[in-house]
Amino acid sequence: MGETRIKYYNKDIECQSTQSRMDKQFKLFLEDLNFAYKNCEYYKTLFGKDFNIKDIKSYDDILNIPKTKKSQIVEIHKSNPPFGGMVANSAKLNRIYVSPGPIYDPEGETFDYWNLQEVFTNIGFQKGDRVVNTFSYHLTPAGIFCDEALKNLGCTMIPTGVGNTEIQIQTMKNLQVSGYVGTPSFLHMLIKKAEQMGYNWNKDFNLQVAALAGEMLPNTTRKEFEETYNIMVRQFFATADIGGIGYECNYKAGIHFSENRLVEVINPDTGKNCLPGEPGELVVSTLNNKTYPLIRLGTGDLIIHSDKVCSCGRTSFRIEKIVGRVDMVTKVRGMFIHPSQVKEIVDRFDYIQKGKVIVTRENDYDNLIFYAEMQKDIPLTETYKDKISSAMKDIFKLKGEVKFVEDGYIQETDKLIEDKRKWD
């Protein structure tokens, strides 16, 4: 399945020796490090006046550079609006996106700013594909940055966004769409809805390749996509601040790290590099970014990586498994939610005494539930639930359920966000 779609964006670079890659990436990293220190107020403050780039002589020295936690960016931006001094003083911006927090994500004017052409080429998209892009096209960057990368590869884009399932199904059938970009749960929902509408998926549709992100992909769901519906499924890893980080090749033996990102896997307790097979935090630095250089951004994702050469010939390290989070920041239906946002909902309403969020998963769909412990003598009516639900949509940019709980149900030691999803 999909043999003609096996691609390399740049085979010589992707299959180069590990040492060659490290030498090239280290050189680019030093250039970005020097640029960030001289042009971004945030890094001038973070590194301090005694910082000397000549002290960074090897990969081991990178560990001495302060890490910036992704979970801190909301507060960093708030401390010095709008970008917290993280954007270069001379930067020219093409767009500014708004992610939950809020976080303002700048987009520079350079070609393939988000580093996604490498990702989508290696996944298997090709010129002439008609692609439905079901990521959102408003506020957050996911919809537009996928759209532009695929369009530049010669694909015809159909900007559907999420929702409107019946219209999307009709569009995919009428236009014989060959590509899909979005979350696995939404693709699964589209297929099941099409069958409910009386369609035979393998006969009536032409979907050949799907690039999935924003959620875990359970093995059972992948198997169903590939064996029952004959769809070539590949995962990719991207964030709203960094852009493309990695992709699966045709061997599906983990997510290859991009050539254009310097990646570390760090023990969150010791700050030292993890060996292959050891769980550690994914720390990413952009390369050749003169707009919003991100130096040692701790993503908060706990991963297990491999340094073995893949059967495809690529020599990059790979994510073998995502095993959790360092912090409580949690991705739900492709969107990050932050503990500070939970607190914002509690603070918005005088009648909420305590609140917490629990994320569960049922039938390949993420459920977001806000548990509200109300002040005494407050009537537990649907009106209050509706107001809290509206605040969740406003602050999280996600729909969720509200449940009232009795006094004392939420303990001071409870996490503001608790992820109870189970993955096979």
Q: Say how many C-beta atoms besides its own lie within 10 A of residue 188's C-beta.
A: 18
DSSP state of 79: H
33 is a domain residue = no
Q: Which of 301, 326, 351 is the last residue of a domain?
A: 326
Vertex 175: Cα angle to 170 and 181 (nearest 5): 80
Asked if residues 101 and 88 have their Cβ atoms less than 8 Å apart, the reply is: no
Same-domain status, 346 and 236: no
Separation of alpha carbons 230 and 207, rounded Å? 8
Same-domain status, 400 and 284: no
pLDDT of residue 327: 72
pLDDT of residue 422: 76
244 is a domain residue = yes
Same-domain status, 146 and 225: yes
Separation of alpha carbons 97 and 240, rounded Å? 9
77 is a domain residue = no
pLDDT of residue 377: 80
Separation of alpha carbons 142 and 95, rounded Å? 13
Same-domain status, 345 and 272: no
Give tens-digit pLDDT for 82-131.
999 999 998 999 999 998 888 999 999 999 999 999 999 999 999 999 99
Same-domain status, 314 and 350: no
- Asked whether residue 424 carries a pLDDT value surpassing 80, the answer given is no
63 is a domain residue = no
CA distances from 9 to 50, 180, 238, 247, 302 (A): 41, 20, 17, 12, 28
Q: Higher model confidence: residue 327 or residue 385? A: 385
pLDDT of residue 214: 87
- Is residue 220 classed as helix, strand or coil in its secondary structure? helix
pLDDT of residue 2: 58
Q: Where are the alpha helices (DSSP H) in 124-183?
A: 142-152, 165-174
Mean confidence (pLDDT) of the chain: 93
30 is a domain residue = no
Residue type, position 345, single letter: I
Same-domain status, 308 and 353: no
Give tens-digit pLDDT for 339-365.
888 988 998 998 898 999 999 888 778
173 is a domain residue = yes
Same-domain status, 278 and 167: yes
Among all chains, which residue has been given the structure tokens 């149900």? 409
Same-domain status, 188 and 260: yes
408 is a domain residue = yes
Q: Higher model confidence: residue 336 or residue 190? A: 190
Q: What is the pTM of this model?
A: 0.81
Same-domain status, 306 and 217: yes
Q: Residue 208 — pLDDT band, cuts 50, 70, 90?
A: very high
Q: Which of 326, 347, 373 is the last residue of a domain?
A: 326
Kind of pairing between the strands at 209-212 and 232-239? parallel
Most confident of 263-277, 328-342, 364-378, 408-422: 263-277
Q: Which of 264, 295, 326 is the last residue of a domain?
A: 326
pLDDT of residue 121: 97
pLDDT > 90: what percent of the chain? Answer: 74
Domain count along the chain = 2
Q: State phi, psi for 229 to the nearest 5 degrees.
A: -115, 5
Same-domain status, 99 and 137: yes
Same-domain status, 163 and 265: yes
Say which CATH number the domain at 299 has.
Answer: 3.40.50.12780
Same-domain status, 322 and 371: no
274: containing domain: 3-19+92-326
Find all residues with CB under 8 Å of 387, minimum gap 6, and list them.
349
371 is a domain residue = yes
Q: Higher model confidence: residue 231 or residue 164? A: 231
Say which CATH number the domain at 399 has.
Answer: 3.30.300.30
Separation of alpha carbons 346 and 268, rounded Å? 30
Give tens-digit pLDDT for 149-179.
999 999 999 999 988 899 999 999 999 999 9
Could you tell me which residues are beta bridge partners of residue 286? 261
- Is residue 397 classed as helix, strand or coil in its secondary structure? coil
